[in-house]
């Protein structure tokens, strides 16, 4: 395991929405190069944990450190500069439906561009080689000029992956990125997510334990906002998974 600066470190991190506790006392360190699968029943806290990690939600208790920076107490612009180094695919994908696919992919670079250049790219879209190559990598080369709203659910998921590829993030966070994909596309997309960051650090929530086993190095199981399983993939057996998904 590579040492040095952790990709992410949570200490006693909790998240509460009014009187609902979504996450409770999460202690977790993710090392560079680890591929962590977040598993657990619906409502267990997987999306909330990913939101803490990308700084879109502040913890109500504890601390969250990402890429060597404590996210607590940062100014909005300091937070944005850490977020530029994090590639996120949210459960909602956050695509703009009314524009062409290439604009959504280009959005991965907007953080690095001046406002003027970003506006220019929106007004005069070019088939930029970086965008074309990212779309080719996700098998959507044909869709460059398509309106995003015309694409299928699986194609939209792949547009979000292409946007992440052009961002060149240091850490990839993905919330159910393969939920609408057929099995072979799902395997392909997970492979792409692995290679989207230089040291291949990935935290991904999944509802398919077999994909977690095949593509990740470590499995974190959540139940009712707490970590109930944290093991290297090789040490996870069917009993652990049955226990994790047992309704109670």
Ligand X SMILES: Nc1ncnc2c1ncn2[C@@H]1O[C@H](COP(=O)(O)OP(=O)(O)OP(=O)(O)O)[C@@H](O)[C@H]1O
In terms of Cβ atoms closer than 10 Å to its own Cβ (0-12, 13-18, 19+), residue 129 is exposed
- CB of 160: closest distance to Mg ion in angstroms? 15
**82, 67 contact by CB (below 8 A):** yes
Q: Which of 121, 132, 207, 142 is nearest to 165 (CA)?
A: 132
What is the rounded CA–CA span in Å between residue 108 and residue 163? Answer: 5
142 binds ligand X (CB under 6 A): no
* Three-class DSSP category at 140: coil
Ranges within 75-94 binding ligand X (CB under 6 A): none
Binding site for Mg ion (CB under 5 A): 46-47
Between 38 and 135, whose beta carbon lies closer to Mg ion?
Answer: 38
Q: Indicate the residue among 21 and 168 with the shorter CB distance to ligand X.
A: 21
Decide which of Mg ion, ligand X, none touches 92; Cβ closer than 5 to 8 Å per partner kind.
none
Among Mg ion, ligand X, none, the one that 20 touches (CB under a kind-dependent 5 to 8 A) is ligand X
Specify the residue for token string 């699968």: 37
Q: Assess 157 for contact with ligand X (CB under 6 A).
A: no
Please report how close the Cβ of residue 43 comes to ligand X at its closest, in angstroms.
4
22 binds, among ligand X, Mg ion, none (CB under 5 to 8 A by kind): ligand X
User: Measured at CB, which residue is nearest to Mg ion?
Assistant: 47
Contact call for residue 189 and ligand X (CB under 6 A) = no
183-195 and 153-167 are packed helices; what angle lies between their axes, rounded to 10 degrees? 10
User: Token digits for 156?
Assistant: 């939209």
- CB within 8 Å of 25: residues ≥ 6 apart: 12, 13, 14, 61, 62, 226
In whole angstroms, how close is the CB of 53 to ligand X at the nearest point? 12
Token pair for residue 94?
């956050």
Separation CA 222–CA 227 (nearest Å):
5
Give me the least distance between CB of 145 and ligand X, in Å please. 33
Size of the site for ligand X (CB under 6 A): 11
Shortest Å distance, C-beta 40 to ligand X: 6
Q: Tell me the closest approach of the beta carbon of residue 31 to ligand X, in angstroms.
A: 23
Segments in 54-94 forming alpha helices (H): 76-83
- Round to whole Å and give the CA distance between 10 and 62: 7
**CB-nearer residue toward ligand X: 66 or 165:** 66
Residues 12-71 that bind ligand X (CB under 6 A): 17, 20, 22, 40, 42-48
Question: Which residues of this chain interact with ligand X, rule CB under 6 A?
Answer: 17, 20, 22, 40, 42-48
């Amino acid at each position: 395991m590579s040492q040095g600066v952790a990709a992410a470190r949570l200490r006693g991190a909790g998240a509460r929405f009014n009187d609902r506790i979504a996450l409770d006392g999460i202690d977790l360190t993710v090392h560079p190069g680890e591929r962590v699968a977040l598993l657990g029943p619906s409502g267990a806290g997987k999306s909330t944990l990913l939101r803490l990690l990308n700084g879109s939600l502040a913890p109500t208790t504890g601390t969250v450190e990402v890429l060597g920076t404590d996210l607590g107490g940062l100014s909005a612009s300091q937070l944005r500069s850490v977020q530029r180094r994090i590639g996120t695919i949210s459960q909602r994908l956050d695509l703009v439906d009314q524009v062409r696919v290439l604009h959504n992919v280009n959005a991965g670079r907007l953080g690095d561009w001046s406002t003027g250049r970003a506006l220019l790219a929106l007004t005069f879209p070019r088939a930029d080689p970086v965008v074309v190559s990212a779309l080719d990598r996700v098998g959507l080369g044909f869709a460059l000029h398509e309106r995003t709203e015309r694409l299928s659910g699986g194609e939209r998921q792949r547009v979000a992956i292409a946007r992440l590829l052009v961002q060149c993030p240091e850490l990839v966070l993905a919330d159910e990125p393969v939920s609408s994909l057929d099995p072979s596309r799902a395997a392909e997309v997970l492979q792409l997510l692995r290679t989207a960051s230089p040291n291949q650090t990935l935290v991904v929530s999944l509802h398919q334990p077999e994909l977690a086993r095949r593509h990740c190095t470590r499995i974190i199981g959540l139940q009712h906002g707490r970590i109930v399983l944290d093991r290297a993939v090789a040490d996870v057996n069917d009993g652990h998974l049955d226990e994790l998904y047992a309704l109670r």
